[in-house]
Amino acid sequence: MKLSRRGFFKLSGAMAAASVLGTKGLAAASKEPAGHDDSWACLVDTTLCVGCRKCEQACSERHGLAKPDLPYDELTVLEEPRRPDHRFYTVINKYYPQHIGPLTWRERPSFVKFQCMHCNDPACASACITGALHKNPEGPITWTSSKCIGCRYCMIACPFQIPAYEYHEPLMPRVMKCTFCYEYVKKGDLPACVKVCPMEVMTFGKRSELIKLARKKMEKHPGKYVNYIYGEKEVGGTSWLYLASQPFEKIGFPKLGELAPPRITEGIQHGLYKYLWAPLTLYVVLGGVMWASGFFGEKRSFKVKTRGRPGNEKGGDQ
């Protein structure tokens, strides 16, 4: 493409403008996404769970996941903490009562269901450079195989260590995690785990309503729950919300801040862009000055004279 001197200045001007406007645009893009009051959500009352693993089975069967080594009614597997993986989008873990200082929490073990938290501002989707992980308008974060390049940035980014990878699949390995049963719930069904649970541990509904319900439960049963809703604020809030009778850090929940990871990482990223634009703009402007002053033209004519045959004004090797 031939670039005239005027065109070059236009380009320089556009790049200089982009150095100012571009960072503003990027800063705007880094703002936290809009509210999530109406997002689909699930309130898990861990005090009701009996650790039967029926939710694990219903989930794995609905999604056609590989059969586990031991049957689902084998409850000894609960003795070791597990993470969701390619065979289980959700797992139940068992936590024995803890004695903390002078306090003794309930004698009964706590059973806790883990799966993707479907974050309001998901670090996995933010880290995914191809958009393979995507937050749907209703809240669930889903994965599209055709867009995934297998970089596994999502696995590193997730503060709950949720996405699993089919390492054993040489051809088409998948990133695997709870889908919130998106395709089923969109058609009016319930998530399989919610539907099957015999103890009604989970309540599915709108996020804002479930937060109200959680508060009511805590008010109605003083002393039954620790006075905290896990997921209300962690990492910018999550669609899965929890009530518990033991402190959350004692039953497998990571202690996390309120700021969503994408707000931190995108801030750094935008800062880098901002400071890289300045030298880039300087190079473009200096280049423009050199072009305007004929610097490149002088060099070109020097090159032509030295390479061409004597008497050949155009130079070249013809």
Binding positions for ligand SF4, rule: CB under 6 A: 49-55, 59, 62, 89-90, 92, 111, 113, 115-119, 122-124, 141, 158, 160, 162-163, 177-181, 191-193, 196-197, 199, 201
SS3 34: coil
Nearest to 205 by CA among 41, 35, 38, 37: 41
Report the residue number, 43 or 211, with the smaller CB distance to ligand SF4: 43
Q: Residue-wise over 147-169: b if at least 16 C-beta within 10 A, else e?
A: ebeeebbbbebbbbebbbbbeee
What's the closest the beta carbon of residue 26 comes to ligand SF4, in angstroms?
Answer: 22
d(CA 55, CA 155): 24
Which residues are registered as beta bridge partners of 141?
A: 135
Report the residue number, 192 or 229, with the smaller CB distance to ligand SF4: 192
d(CA 251, CA 311): 88
Helix axes 5-29, 261-292, angle to 10 degrees: 170
What's the closest the beta carbon of residue 63 comes to ligand SF4, in angstroms?
Answer: 6
What's the closest the beta carbon of residue 47 comes to ligand SF4, in angstroms?
Answer: 11
Report the residue number, 89 or 277, with the smaller CB distance to ligand SF4: 89
What's the closest the beta carbon of residue 127 comes to ligand SF4, in angstroms?
Answer: 8
Helix axes 261-292, 295-307, angle to 10 degrees: 60
What's the closest the beta carbon of residue 300 comes to ligand SF4, in angstroms?
Answer: 54
SS3 305: helix
Report the residue number, 124 or 284, with the smaller CB distance to ligand SF4: 124
Nearest to 88 by CA among 101, 100, 78: 78
What's the closest the beta carbon of residue 219 comes to ligand SF4, in angstroms?
Answer: 23
What's the closest the beta carbon of residue 192 comes to ligand SF4, in angstroms?
Answer: 4
Q: What phi and psi values does residue 114 have, to the nearest 5 degrees?
A: -115, 145
SS3 122: coil
What's the closest the beta carbon of residue 175 comes to ligand SF4, in angstroms?
Answer: 9
d(CA 292, CA 85): 61
Report the residue number, 97 or 315, with the smaller CB distance to ligand SF4: 97
Helix residue ranges, H only, 43-166: 54-62, 123-127, 153-157
Q: What phi and psi values does residue 145 have, to the nearest 5 degrees?
A: -60, -40
Report in angstroms the alpha-carbon separations of 130 from 123, 127, 135, 267, 291.
14, 9, 13, 20, 38
Contact call for residues 202 and 195 (beta carbons, < 8 A): no
Report the residue number, 14 or 156, with the smaller CB distance to ligand SF4: 156
